[in-house]
Amino acid sequence: MGGTSIQWGQPNASLAELNTLSHLSTLEVQIPDAEAAPEDFFQKLQKLERYKIFIGKEWERFGNSQYSRTLILRLNTSIDDLDHGIKKLVKRTQDLQLDELKGVKIALKELTDEERLSHLRNLHIQNGLDIESITNDRNEFLELQSLTLQGLPQLVSFCSQDKIDATSLPQRELPLFEEKILFPSLEKLQLSSLNITRVWQNQLSNVSFYTHEKLTTLKIEGCGNIIYLLSFSMAKYLVHLKYFEVTKCNCLEEIIFWEDIEEATQVAMTLSLFPQLESLELKDLQHLRGFCFNSQNKVIEFPFMKSMTIYNCSNLEGFICRYTREGNQRISSQGDLFDNKVAFPKLQQLTVGGCDKLLTIFPSNMHEEKETALLATAQLRKLHIFGLPKLKYIWKNDPRGIFSFKKICAISVLGCPSLKNVFPASVAKDLPQLGFLAISDCGVEEIVPIVSFFLSYGLGWLRYNLYEF
């Protein structure tokens, strides 16, 4: 019945008729008002093998669910008024989505009577103005693969018991997830418009963070009280993370907090961070100073990173900010997006815009270590730079010709008024795949600081591409 609009309760359209279909095994139905359903209607749906049931008005279709048993509730009454049969359906549901729960402080308590949701694979809770916790005790969500919490301004902790046990911290400083909440199958976590200050504890035991190590997707949006997201000791367990997105977190200063790390890590000269990460997006983070601050002289490698976007981070000082301590102050080197101690051996696309403090993308000190410079740039195919008012260099002097951009095919540079040239000669002479070059609203006086270069490289080709842009 998907895609068909039926006015239940009108002549010839009674929900009760569905109960007469004794062999019905699959049902997709939208019911604007659960109270309009006949008595025992939901109780008799327990025999369904597959279902997608929408209860409430104006639900947007979520597309084809990958789960065979989906229940979506948008209630205009208290959850206490729900038919008992709906609560029984919840216990069998794989995909549970809850919107606008009213008068509810513990989201799942009244729905489940504290029984374990052993079949639950996806949990999406949004727009609950009174919700303070998701569950009442430290349940194990053994099958949960995806969790979305959105628009829950009063949310303090996932488990209400953590609020009771935590006597030394104000409630707003509690982490959302304590050690004893288990998500051994969780692959996707999305948090949006929450007022929490911490997602996880600073230090977790190996066993406790094991419950999150299958994460492949992590999205944090509009959580305005978080100052840093992960400690290094926590981040090292996210070995399967592929997609990492952080947006509109106004207080966030750094993604990774670099606390005192263990001795075995200190010995290693190269640290591999998020070894499966393919895509990183950092957007609309007005107070972000860097992905992390690090005083150690180590190369930090992101071995599988293919795409990186940094947008509208006006306070960004650099991707990895190196610092020295003077008294209690951290003095960082400012202005270079990358340095010679960061490596992206598979980076293919880089987009940087709206970062007011950046002076250089690829600085000259990257050529101090040839191997690192090659790793940082060898696979780059697309480079998009825009809205960097202080940018003076994309590639700073490369006198030894160490930078390698043999695979780059598209470069666009927009709105960089302090930029005087695009390429040093050593880079420009070896761009065999470059097919698109766009430059607009920049202070560029020359594309390459050697006039004779154009005669051999083909000035007509360059004009064509600028015209196309």
* Residue 416's pLDDT band (cuts 50, 70, 90): very high
**Encoded tokens for 319:** 């991707």
Q: Please state the length of the chain.
A: 469
Res 383: pLDDT: 95
Q: Which residue has the tokens 């270079």?
A: 336
Per-residue model confidence as pLDDT tens digits over 427-440: 777 788 888 999 99
Please give the model's pTM, rounded to 2 decimal places: 0.87
The 10 Å CB-count burial string (b at 16+, else e) for 425-447 is: bbbbeebeebeebebeebeeeeb
Give the bridge partners for 282, in sequence order. 246, 310
Q: What percent of the chain has pLDDT over 90?
A: 32
Res 29: pLDDT: 83
In whole angstroms, give the CA distance from residue 363 to residue 383.
Answer: 16
Res 273: pLDDT: 86
Res 462: pLDDT: 47
Res 402: pLDDT: 59
- pLDDT higher at 378 or 458: 378
Please give the helix or strand (H or E) that residue 349 lies within, else none: strand 349-353
Residues 158-175, mean pLDDT to the nearest whole number:
65
Helices (H), 196-262: 206-209, 232-235
- pLDDT higher at 37 or 386: 386
Name which of 13-27, 240-254, 394-408, 444-458 the model is least confident about.
444-458
Domain residue extents for the chain: 221-326, 335-469
User: Cα Rg for the chain, rounded, in angstroms?
Assistant: 27
Q: What percent of the chain has pLDDT over 70?
A: 71
- pLDDT higher at 452 or 190: 190
Average pLDDT, the chain: 79
Contacts 24+ apart (CB under 8 A), 457-460: 457/428, 457/429
Res 207: pLDDT: 43
Res 412: pLDDT: 94
